[in-house]
């Protein structure tokens, strides 16, 4: 976050506090919510929100998916087009669990329609869309929660607080990883979409390509047009709490990455293997620089610390290993265990509950969209460094890459030829 962006964020937060909030309902009233995207994560979120709010709509271009979701949460309406939800003034908030190419466009449309937004990670398909989403949230004074649930996890939050209190001294380096065995998606050719799917609606603002079975449900993750690859799969979770523990609240200035397809001989466009390094220079003085390392191996079953994902924090007085899987190890400078345990911050709500409470009270949610944009940008820059095979020098103020127009062109994306109603203004 550049200085001007940080000032905007702090001003926005102060405005929320001074006005007593932008609540759409009283403290004890149930908010009305629409669920956009009914895949596995969308249905899980629909069930979670149904326990806390009135889920009036479920939405998906695949009729079979939206009907399944409707049955699970007893939503009154099951629709294909998200505009049906945005046009309903009784809807207070939307939950976006679509493919990633729809995350920011749908969230921006929702903010402009006066809805609060819970958007799954990463909040954007590219850096430019992430900034436009932050601006839409500010412009419309909407609560936007990013789906990095560790921000509301008592175990993770308590461990981060221990880092803040100096349990391992000053944290200078964080190393995070995602190691798991993903599936080979094979090689396919275009074919007709399933009869239950409005494929044109599913593609939406993205550059149109014919339907192909291995770039549709879930497999869209591995295609430049629709997803953000393995780095954008579980990466936003680990990268987010690695960045949180490292204590950096701006964009990095330098990114380096190596990787590619080392294992999967299939149609996937994104790397299955990669190592990315980010650097924050601080004021340049010794002790003020910070580094975050991220490792991706989505073909392996040999996990560090016997866990598929986690982060090691290296401080001037020791080391902490932390995983969202509930694992923690703290060592002092002599590698002797530190037995202190994290204490959950008081009144920490679950991620969905936190979002709804933020709407009612007007306070920022735990994963406010500027936080989400900062962490999602690391995913995008990491993918670019690997894809281009060179280091990138990023300007945190302009959100542009210095002296590299080829890289700058990839900070946005190609949209559907001839235009589309969901293409964000300003791209």
Tell me whether residue 67 is in a domain.
Answer: yes
Structure confidence at residue 345 (pLDDT): 83
Q: Taking 80 as the threshold, does the pLDDT of residue 3 lie above it?
A: no
Residue 115 falls inside a structural domain? yes
Q: Is the pLDDT of residue 14 over 70?
A: no
pLDDT at 16: 39
Instruction: Determine the pLDDT at residue 232.
Output: 96
Structure tokens at 297: 């191996």
Cβ contact 16:363 at 8 Å: yes
> Is 114 a member of any domain?
yes
For residue 357, the model assigns a pLDDT of 98
pLDDT tier, 26 (very low <50, low <70, confident <90, very high otherwise): low
Our count of domains for the chain comes to 1
Per-residue pLDDT tens over the stretch 66-122: 999 999 999 999 999 999 999 999 999 999 999 999 999 999 999 999 999 999 999
Q: Is residue 123 part of a domain?
A: yes
- pLDDT at 11 exceeding the cut of 90: no
Position 316 confidence tier, pLDDT thresholds 50, 70, 90 = very high
Q: Tell me, what's the pLDDT at 344? A: 81
Q: Would 18 be classed as within a structural domain?
A: yes
Residue 1's pLDDT is 42
Cβ atoms of residues 85 and 66 within 8 Å: no
Give the number of other CB atoms < 10 A from CB of residue 307.
Answer: 15
Burial of 262 (0-12, 13-18, 19+ CB in 10 A): exposed
pLDDT greater than 50 at residue 406: yes
- pLDDT at site 9: 38
- Is residue 13 pLDDT above 60, yes or no? no
Q: How confident is the model at residue 25 (pLDDT cuts 50, 70, 90)?
A: low
pLDDT at 27: 66
Percent of the chain with pLDDT over 70: 93
Decide if 415 is inside a domain: no
pLDDT (average), residues 394-398: 98
Residue closest to 60 by CA, chosen among 159, 194, 231: 194
Higher pLDDT, 48 or 5: 48
Greater confidence, 21 or 278?
278
Domain that holds residue 138: 3-151+349-368
Average pLDDT over residues 27-34: 89
pLDDT at 21: 41
Residues 260-297 have pLDDT tens digits of 999 999 999 999 999 999 999 999 899 999 999 999 99
Within a domain: residue 20? yes
* Mean pLDDT (the chain, rounded): 94
Residue 395 lies in a domain: no
Over residues 168-174, mean pLDDT: 98
398, with CB counted inside 10 A (0-12, 13-18, 19+), is exposed
Q: Are 95 and 69 in contact (CB under 8 A)?
A: no
* pLDDT value for 286: 94
Q: Do the strands 290-297 and 171-179 form a parallel or antiparallel pair, or are they unpaired?
A: parallel
Using pLDDT thresholds of 50, 70 and 90, give the confidence band for residue 321.
very high
Supply the DSSP string of 104-130, one letter for each residue.
HHHHHHHHHTT-EEEEPSSS-SSHHHH
**Phi, psi dihedrals of residue 310, rounded to the nearest 5°:** 175, 180
pLDDT reading at 5 higher than 70: no
pTM: 0.93
- CA distances to 29, 195, 225, 318 from 81, in Å: 27, 16, 20, 52
pLDDT tens column, 345-383 = 888 999 999 999 999 999 999 999 999 999 999 999 999
Q: Does a cis peptide bond (omega within 30 degrees of 0) precede residue 122?
A: yes
The CATH number of the domain holding residue 49 is: 3.40.50.720
């Amino acid at each position: 976050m550049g200085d001007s962006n940080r000032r905007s964020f702090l001003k926005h937060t102060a405005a929320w506090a001074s006005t007593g909030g932008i609540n759409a309902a009283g403290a004890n009233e149930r908010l009305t919510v629409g669920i956009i995207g009914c895949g596995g994560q969308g249905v899980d979120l629909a069930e979670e929100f149904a326990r806390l709010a009135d889920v009036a709509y479920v939405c998906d271009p695949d009729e079979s998916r939206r009907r399944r979701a409707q049955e699970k949460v007893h939503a009154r309406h099951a629709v294909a087009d998200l505009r049906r939800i945005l046009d309903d003034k009784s809807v207070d908030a939307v939950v976006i669990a679509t493919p990633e190419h729809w995350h920011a466009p749908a969230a921006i449309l929702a903010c402009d329609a006066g809805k609060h937004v819970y958007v799954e990670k990463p909040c954007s398909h590219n850096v430019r869309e992430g900034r436009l989403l932050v601006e839409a949230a500010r412009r419309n004074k909407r609560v936007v929660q990013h789906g990095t649930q560790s921000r509301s996890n008592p175990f993770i939050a308590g461990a981060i607080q221990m880092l803040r209190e100096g349990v391992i001294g000053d944290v200078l380096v964080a190393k995070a990883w995602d190691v798991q065995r993903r599936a080979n998606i094979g090689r396919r050719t275009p074919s007709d979409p399933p009869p239950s799917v409005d494929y044109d609606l599913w593609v939406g603002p993205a550059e149109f390509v014919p339907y192909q079975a291995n770039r549709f449900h879930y497999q869209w993750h591995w295609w430049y047009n629709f997803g953000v690859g393995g780095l954008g799969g579980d990466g936003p979770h680990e990268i987010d709490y690695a960045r949180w523990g490292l204590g950096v609240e701006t964009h990095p200035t330098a990114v380096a990455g190596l990787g590619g397809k080392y294992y999967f001989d299939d149609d996937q466009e994104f790397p299955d293997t990669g190592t990315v390094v980010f650097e924050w220079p601080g004021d340049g003085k010794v002790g003020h620089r910070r580094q975050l390392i991220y490792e991706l191996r989505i073909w392996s079953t040999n996990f560090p610390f016997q866990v598929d994902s986690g982060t090691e924090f290296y401080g001037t007085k020791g080391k902490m290993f932390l995983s969202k899987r509930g694992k923690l190890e703290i060592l002092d400078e002599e590698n002797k265990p530190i037995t202190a345990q994290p204490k959950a911050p008081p009144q920490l709500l679950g991620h969905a509950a936190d979002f709804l409470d933020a709407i009612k009270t007007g306070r920022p949610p735990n994963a406010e969209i500027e936080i989400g944009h900062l962490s999602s940008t690391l995913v995008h820059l990491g993918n670019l460094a690997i894809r281009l095979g060179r280091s990138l020098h990023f300007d945190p103020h302009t959100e542009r890459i210095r002296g590299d127009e080829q890289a700058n062109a990839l900070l946005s994306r190609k949209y559907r030829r001839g235009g589309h109603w969901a293409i964000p203004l300003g791209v």
